[in-house]
């Protein structure tokens, strides 16, 4: 049996619209998700016991059963008990490069890598749609992290429709080490403040979803119109997060003064990104914002958009 090293890319939201409530307690969403080259490394190998072990180089990442990567391995063990009994447990080692609690789906990406890696290790032969169906049981972002690229996500985020990959642009990401935003808090606060705008009937949800599929942003992505994409970035959660977190708002405003295509908070934050035409433009924007905000708690990452989801880096 082979052991595998996998690349687990982060993601950003180019678009996030909250349509209404769902019966399962989640929100009905329409999003455009985009992979980026900033990625964790996840190494998988068989364990000498029937246990699942998680190791990580980042002190803030849990290594117990609360870790999404652990839960992904447990899901595979439960779904394929005979294979699990034959192959035994799994050792998972995560090299954390994606910032933690940043709204970049780092934990989801690690879980997706575990699903893909165990599928290879155990020679299960699962297709990508089958892996995504399993992934949806763990979290809304994980199905996208399996496939990556550029996609429209609907439902609670687990229903995906691929569109033309957008991999020729760059982003500079910025996040304060000492600020974290609770995703449940962000959605609950949005519900409290804006639920009067929610659509509840199936026809209305279908109509709103269809509008995004035919929207100017999707058209601009399909035609690689970088300047238009930058102008059409949208995130409903900014309405509640930015007023509550003035430093994140200030960061977004600082990026807006630089020569970029557009800027926005990703997901529920607190990461803010600037979309750029080139690496040089991204580096210049980073330098300009660093000159405006000198707080040592603010970190930056410059990376490129990616057309890839989970990839096998090597057999160990």
φ, ψ of residue 200 to 5 degrees: the values are: -115, -25
177: Cβ contacts below 8 Å, ≥ 6 apart:
297, 298, 299
Q: What is d(CA 107, CA 291) in angstroms, rounded to the nearest whole number?
A: 31
**Helix 68-79 vs helix 128-135: angle between axes, to the nearest 10 degrees?**
120
Does an H or E element contain 301, and which?
A: strand 298-306
Residues carrying an active site annotation? 11, 141
| DSSP letter (8 states) at residue 197 | G
56: Cβ contacts below 8 Å, ≥ 6 apart:
63, 67, 93, 94, 95, 96
Residue 223: CB atoms within 10 Å: 11
Of 17, 7, 11, the C-alpha closest to 33 is 11
| DSSP letter (8 states) at residue 237 | T
The SS3 assignment for 46 reads: strand
φ, ψ of residue 225 to 5 degrees: the values are: -95, 90
Q: What is d(CA 221, CA 275) in angstroms, rounded to the nearest whole number?
A: 13
């Amino acid at each position: 049996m082979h052991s595998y090293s996998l690349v687990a890319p982060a993601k950003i939201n180019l678009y996030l619209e909250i349509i209404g409530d769902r019966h399962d307690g989640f929100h009905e969403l329409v999003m455009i998700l985009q992979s980026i080259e900033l990625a964790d490394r996840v190494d998988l190998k068989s364990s000498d016991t029937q246990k699942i072990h998680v190791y990580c180089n980042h002190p803030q990442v849990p290594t117990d059963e609360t870790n999404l990567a652990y839960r992904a391995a447990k899901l595979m063990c439960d779904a394929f008990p005979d294979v699990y009994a034959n192959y035994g447990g799994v050792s998972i080692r995560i090299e954390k490069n994606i910032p933690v609690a940043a709204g970049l789906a780092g934990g989801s990406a690690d879980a997706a890598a575990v699903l893909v890696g165990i599928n290879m290790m155990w020679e299960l032969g699962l297709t990508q749609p089958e892996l995504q169906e399993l992934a949806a049981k763990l979290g809304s972002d994980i199905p996208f992290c399996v496939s990556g690229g550029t996609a429209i996500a609907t439902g609670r985020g687990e229903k995906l429709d691929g569109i033309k990959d957008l991999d020729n642009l760059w982003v500079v990401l910025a996040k304060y080490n000492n600020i974290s935003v609770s995703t449940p808090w962000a959605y609950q606060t949005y519900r409290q403040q804006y639920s009067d705008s929610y659509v509840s009937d199936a026809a209305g949800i279908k109509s709103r979803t269809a509008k995004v599929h035919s929207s100017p942003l999707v058209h601009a992505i399909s035609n690689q119109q970088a300047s238009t994409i930058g102008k059409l970035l949208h995130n409903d959660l900014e309405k509640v997060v930015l007023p509550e977190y003035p430093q994140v708002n200030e960061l977004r405003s600082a990026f807006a003064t630089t020569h970029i295509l557009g800027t926005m908070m990703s997901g529920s934050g607190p990461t803010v990104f600037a979309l750029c035409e080139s690496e040089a433009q991204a580096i210049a924007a980073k330098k300009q914002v660093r000159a405006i905000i000198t707080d040592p708690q603010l970190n930056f990452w410059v990376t490129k958009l990616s057309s890839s989801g989970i990839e096998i880096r090597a057999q160990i």
